């Protein structure tokens, strides 16, 4: 039963956040930077997981929501000189709006058709970025200067290019989205989403407008992925069309599959795992992608439900 162990569940999530906080003070510089990046991208994975893991909708176009946030924040800073908070909000709003439009269109389909339709829309989005190169910087992208990446609150100012400020900002976003995800999946809405994944027809016959619920999930997922993109632009200072390419639609799927679909902490674990396997193997061989591939295949063979999904199945049934 989902309410069997709320105390344990909250303790675990708060514990993970506390651990990440502590790591800031012990990690060497290089790993501190890598962790900031991983936490930011884990938000992307969490947004993807909400739709793929909980609702069972497999999108191959989520790069467009990440990029909507990336460009929504990046371009308003670069061209309009907006401050960091306004630009972040602009990025999230762009992602949510795009998700609303894409959801209205793509939810007319399901299954393989949904995968193809989302992929096509993402491709259109990618090509639009290249087409409007005068504003977007095309495939070169844009670099956002350090001066634009400072948050002034009252008298204090926070420079997002500072390693610790950057780490803590990434952690703050990660923590908020983790707790929001946890609250959503434990809510009535979350229960309906899982029911839709399990049997949509049956869910309708219990009085649920399944299309409206799926649309809400697409918008929430798009907004979270856009928050990740917006944070990425502001924290790492680079906005580029590569983030809108199909590779960035596949990556969140891999992270989520690895970590465990429909688990709240799986996206973090999957992102972390993939980054470190790539990082370690690329250190001693140029054929590192081969090794990453083999590692992925082994994992899928032995942990078909992902790392955390398998742990939940075998040992910790109470994990959300």
Interface with other proteins (CB under 8 A): 1-4, 188, 191-192, 194-195, 198-199, 201-210
User: Least separation, in Å, of the C-beta of 6 and other proteins?
Assistant: 12
The span from the CA of 319 to the CA of 311, in Å, is: 9
User: Least separation, in Å, of the C-beta of 191 and other proteins?
Assistant: 6
Q: Which residues contact 29 (CB under 8 A, 6 or more apart)?
A: 163
Nearer CB in complex with other proteins: 203/228: 203
Nearer CB in complex with other proteins: 37/186: 186
Phi, psi of 152 (to 5 degrees): -105, 120
Phi, psi of 238 (to 5 degrees): -135, 135
- The secondary structure of residue 159, as a DSSP letter, is E
> How do 238-239 and 142-143 pair as beta strands?
antiparallel
| Residues pairing with 153 in the sheet | 156
The span from the CA of 210 to the CA of 193, in Å, is: 8
Token duo for residue 108: 């007319």
Q: Which residues contact 42 (CB under 8 A, 6 or more apart)?
A: 174, 255, 267, 268, 271, 272
User: Least separation, in Å, of the C-beta of 45 and other proteins?
Assistant: 23
User: Least separation, in Å, of the C-beta of 269 and other proteins?
Assistant: 22
Nearer CB in complex with other proteins: 268/319: 319
The span from the CA of 264 to the CA of 269, in Å, is: 10
User: Least separation, in Å, of the C-beta of 213 and other proteins?
Assistant: 10
User: Least separation, in Å, of the C-beta of 96 and other proteins?
Assistant: 23
Nearer CB in complex with other proteins: 141/306: 306
Nearer CB in complex with other proteins: 3/29: 3
Nearer CB in complex with other proteins: 1/156: 1
User: Least separation, in Å, of the C-beta of 201 and other proteins?
Assistant: 8
Q: Measuring CA to CA, how many Å separate 19 from each of 15, 80, 299?
A: 6, 38, 25
Q: Which residues contact 122 (CB under 8 A, 6 or more apart)?
A: 60, 61, 62, 63, 64, 244, 246, 249
Phi, psi of 157 (to 5 degrees): -135, 140
Nearer CB in complex with other proteins: 2/79: 2
User: Least separation, in Å, of the C-beta of 218 and other proteins?
Assistant: 19
Nearer CB in complex with other proteins: 12/196: 196
């Amino acid at each position: 039963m989902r309410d069997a162990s709320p105390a344990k569940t909250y303790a675990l999530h708060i514990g993970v956040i506390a651990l990440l906080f502590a790591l800031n003070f012990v990690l060497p510089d290089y790993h501190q930077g890598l962790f900031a990046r991983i936490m930011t991208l884990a938000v992307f994975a969490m947004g993807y997981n909400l739709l793929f893991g909980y609702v069972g909708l497999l999108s191959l176009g989520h790069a467009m929501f990440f990029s909507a946030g990336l460009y929504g924040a990046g371009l308003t800073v670069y061209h309009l000189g907006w401050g960091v908070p306004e630009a972040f909000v602009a990025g999230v709003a762009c992602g949510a709006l795009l998700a609303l439009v894409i959801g209205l269109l793509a939810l007319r389909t399901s299954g393989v058709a949904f995968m193809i339709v989302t992929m096509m829309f993402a491709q259109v989005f990618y090509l639009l970025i290249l087409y409007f190169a005068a504003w977007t910087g095309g495939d070169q992208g844009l670099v956002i200067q350090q001066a634009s990446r400072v948050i002034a609150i009252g008298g204090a100012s926070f420079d997002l290019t500072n390693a610790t400020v950057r780490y803590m900002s990434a952690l703050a976003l990660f923590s908020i989205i983790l707790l929001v995800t946890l609250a959503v999946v434990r809510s009535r809405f979350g229960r309906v989403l899982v029911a839709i994944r399990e049997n949509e027809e049956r869910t309708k016959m219990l009085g649920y407008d399944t299309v409206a619920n799926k649309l809400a999930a697409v918008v929430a997922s798009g907004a979270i992925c856009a928050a990740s993109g917006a944070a990425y632009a502001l924290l790492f200072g680079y906005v580029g069309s590569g983030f809108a390419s199909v590779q960035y639609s596949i990556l969140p799927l891999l992270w989520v599959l690895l970590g465990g679909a429909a688990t709240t902490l799986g996206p973090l674990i999957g992102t972390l795992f993939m980054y470190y396997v790539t990082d370690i193997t690329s250190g001693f061989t140029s054929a590192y992608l081969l090794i990453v591939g083999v590692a992925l295949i082994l994992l899928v063979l032995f942990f078909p439900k992902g790392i955390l999904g398998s742990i939940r199945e075998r040992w910790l049934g109470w994990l959300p």
